[in-house]
Amino acid sequence: MDTQVGYPVITVSRDGLQSCTQAGHIYLSLASPNPPAGFKTRKSGPDLILEWGTVRNNDDATVCEDLAGYNVYRCKISGGPYTQIAAPQASETTCTDTGAADSGFYYVASARDSDGQEGAYSFEIDGAGNAVARSLYFEAEEDSFTMLAIPAAAAGVLYKEGSLSGEDILVKIKDVPSDKGRKIPKGEIVRSFEFNAYTANSDALSRIVFSPQKITLKMHYKVSSGYVDGTTILLSQVPRVLSIFYWNGLEWIKIGSNISTSEQTLSIQTEHLSKYAIVKSINSDKFTLTKRIPPIITPNNDGINDAAIFYFENPRNCDVVGRIFDLSGSLVADQLPGGPTSNSLRWDGKDDSGRIVDSGIYVYQLQTSEATLTGSVVVSK
């Protein structure tokens, strides 16, 4: 976007004599085009067709009035380095990578304006439709590991044909440095990120759900001189004291994580976007329930407290079986399904026949080969 800014011009001689004020102006580029949304691939014989939606807005939500075209890149290793293969004009929203249908390349696209200013990359896509979203300027931030890996089976929600908004979706990952060092119940934030969804017109979406498969969320921690950057945590302590929490709008909830010391990442499986954080928090060495919410469920399908979610730590990755009993000890629901994240189960207030149970108090049982956890959950209709 170009903005014309006026300014006065005054010339001054060596003797300090000033001329009359003259009007002047300068053009400033204040925003870059948004990444292309709806970026997808499809095979056409031996060729791979790449398609995307027209970019209409800048990254500050203003209208992109000077869109000049797009840049398309590919690479052999996810995350780059990328090599440019095409530079379509603004009227073009497709290009062909000849002979690349089964090449195994990864692709990204960006938009450019008439000043030659290039916006951030789209999410990365491969020939099978699997997508990876990274922070918008991950190359400059030297962080290709913080990401959302979205399998093709779950990626439909990113496209207008499958999204509730009827529009193509952008996913933006933003580091939140102001959270670093913040004390929260059960820990202290080391690093946090906002994972948010927007329409191609820059409208924020409150919630999207990835299904039938969950997506993989990874967050990277930095290392300096043998410690987690900015902390007193030795690298040898990481598996014991770092975990992922997420913000559900009311509180931070511990959901555990898988840790890769080689990548310096923590990862989970999830079906939704939110703010997630790497938190310094002593991890349990045994199967432990970390949270059950809400205390009372109202399974009336209004989207509010319709199900009970059980979050737990499972350091040995044991199989977890969840069951619900009534107060007489009769089995109500067996084999509870997975919840919204890894290390969670969900009960929707129904018995094994699919009928919503009567109001009352019920007993949950979470069982592994090493422990059995029990407690109560209330149903109100």
Across 56-60, 61-65, 94-98, 112-116, which has the greatest mean pLDDT? Answer: 94-98
| Whether residue 173 sits in one domain with residue 272 | yes
Angstrom distances, CA of residue 135 to CA of 63, 219, 226, 272, 299: 22, 11, 26, 17, 37
Peptide bond preceding 88 in cis form (omega within 30 of 0): no
Helix (H, G, I), strand (E, B) or coil at 162: coil
Cα 4 to chain center, whole Å?
Answer: 36
85: in domain: no
What CA–CA distance (Å, rounded) separates 203 from 290?
34
pLDDT score recorded for residue 17? 52
Q: Which residue has the higher pLDDT, 206 or 230?
A: 230
**pLDDT (mean) for 12-20:** 50
| Whether residue 278 sits in one domain with residue 292 | no
- In the block, residue with structure tokens 């019920």: 362
Report DSSP state, residue 284: P
| Whether residue 326 sits in one domain with residue 312 | yes
Q: 257 pLDDT band (50/70/90 cuts)? A: very high
Share of the chain above pLDDT 70, in %: 92
| Whether residue 261 sits in one domain with residue 296 | no
123: in domain: no
Provide the mean pLDDT of the chain. 91
Domain count, the chain: 2
pLDDT score recorded for residue 359? 97
What CA–CA distance (Å, rounded) separates 202 from 349?
37
pLDDT score recorded for residue 31? 86
| Whether residue 278 sits in one domain with residue 216 | yes
pTM of the model: 0.88
pLDDT score recorded for residue 332? 98
Count of residues in the chain: 381
Chain segment 281-309, per-residue pLDDT in tens: 999 999 999 999 999 999 999 989 999 99
Contact between residue 364 and residue 377 where contact means Cβ atoms under 8 Å apart? yes
Q: Which domain holds residue 355?
A: 288-379
| Whether residue 273 sits in one domain with residue 175 | yes
| Whether residue 329 sits in one domain with residue 256 | no
304: in domain: yes
**Letter string b/e over residues 206-229, b meaning 16 or more CB atoms within 10 A of that residue's CB:** eebebeeebbbbbbbbeeeeeebe
| CATH number for position 322 | 2.60.40.1930
Say which range, 123-127, 151-155, 204-208, 349-353, has the weakest mean pLDDT. 204-208
194: in domain: yes
Torsion, Cα 54 173 78 212, to 10 degrees, reads: -80
Domain boundary among 283, 301, 322: 283
Whether residue 21 is predicted with pLDDT greater than 80 in this model: the reply is no
Whether residue 85 is predicted with pLDDT greater than 50 in this model: the reply is yes
Share of the chain above pLDDT 90, in %: 84
Whether residue 378 is predicted with pLDDT greater than 80 in this model: the reply is yes
Chain segment 108-122, per-residue pLDDT in tens: 999 999 998 999 999
| Whether residue 310 sits in one domain with residue 230 | no
Contact between residue 193 and residue 167 where contact means Cβ atoms under 8 Å apart? no
360: in domain: yes
What CA–CA distance (Å, rounded) separates 350 from 347?
7
Whether residue 28 is predicted with pLDDT greater than 70 in this model: the reply is no
229: in domain: yes
Whether residue 87 is predicted with pLDDT greater than 60 in this model: the reply is yes
Chain segment 227-255, per-residue pLDDT in tens: 999 999 999 999 999 999 999 999 999 99
Q: Which residue has the higher pLDDT, 183 or 31?
A: 183
DSSP 338-365: B-SBSSEEEE-SB-TTSPBPPSEEEEEE
Chain segment 302-358, per-residue pLDDT in tens: 989 999 999 999 999 999 999 999 999 999 999 999 999 999 999 999 999 999 999
170: in domain: yes
| Whether residue 268 sits in one domain with residue 171 | yes
pLDDT score recorded for residue 138? 84
Cα 286 to chain center, whole Å?
Answer: 29
**pLDDT (mean) for 22-50:** 82
Q: Which residue has the higher pLDDT, 303 or 265?
A: 265
| Whether residue 313 sits in one domain with residue 275 | no
Whether residue 14 is predicted with pLDDT greater than 60 in this model: the reply is no
Domain boundary among 283, 309, 341: 283
Domain boundary among 251, 283, 315: 283
| Whether residue 277 sits in one domain with residue 167 | yes
| Whether residue 307 sits in one domain with residue 278 | no
169: in domain: yes
Whether residue 261 is predicted with pLDDT greater than 90 in this model: the reply is yes
pLDDT score recorded for residue 140? 76
Per the structure block, which two tokens stand in for 280?
Answer: 């310094």
Chain segment 365-376, per-residue pLDDT in tens: 999 999 999 999
